[in-house]
Amino acid sequence: MSKAGERETLNVALAVPCTEAEGPGPRYALWVQGCALRCPGCCNPEFLPFQQRDRRFVDDVVAEMLQAQAQHHIEGISLLGGEPTRQARALRQVAAAARAAGLSVMVFSGYTLAELQAEGDDDVLALLACTDLLVDGRYEEGERTTRRRYIGSDNQVLHFLSDRYQADDARFAEGNTLELRVLIDKGTGALTINGWPVHGARTR
Ligand code: SF4
């Protein structure tokens, strides 16, 4: 945890207030910057370098999440990357705030659940304790799939870490979803793609 009086921060790559492509139901999705795993064919190459992007206070991110809940009636939040578990000290606070607000928490990690548990890091374990759904494992280009919802390659596993969701929920059996979103704020058009393993095309 941060020292007394310090406000924890997150290095944010992208935040989407409401998406239906990154987990069950409408969700607030947050991509963090930086991943050391560098899977060939990763669909988020611009999110991999450990460089400063949008450095934000955790309480500001939580406020934005609660605003999304009020405005869009989101069911939960999804934490993606980059690699969320490398910013677990901050994300465990976001996840705990989500749970306290009645929201579900879904995490996408390139590390397997077994690797994360073996690591034994208190912040990662606390993040997992607040996680309902975990998609784990590297993206393996040779096992790429677009048929399993929320899954990029067949080696990856969707873990149910709480009883909030059940595997027979029809939403998990649907095909993958593609969302295109055009952002026109600040006068600079940008295209973002959610929910589909497309190399290098998350933002344009
Ligand atoms: S696919 Fe995921 S784990 Fe692999 S390099 Fe990209 S962000 Fe990292």
Q: What pLDDT, on the 0 to 100 scale, is given for residue 117?
A: 98
pLDDT value of residue 174? 79
Collapsing DSSP to helix, strand or coil, 21 comes out as coil
CATH code of the region 9-176? 3.20.20.70
- All residue ranges of the chain with pLDDT < 50 are 197-201, 204
- Burial of residue 44 (CB within 10 Å: 0-12, 13-18, 19+) is buried
195 CA to centre of ligand 1 in angstroms:
14
Express each pLDDT in 109-118 by its tens digit: 999 999 999 9
Nearest CA to ligand 1 atom 4: 39
The whole-model pTM stands at 0.89
In ligand 1, which atom is closest to the CA atom of 38?
5
pLDDT of residue 6: 79
Each domain of the chain, given as residue ranges in start order, spans: 9-176
In tens, the pLDDT along 141-171 reads 999 988 888 999 999 999 999 999 999 999 9
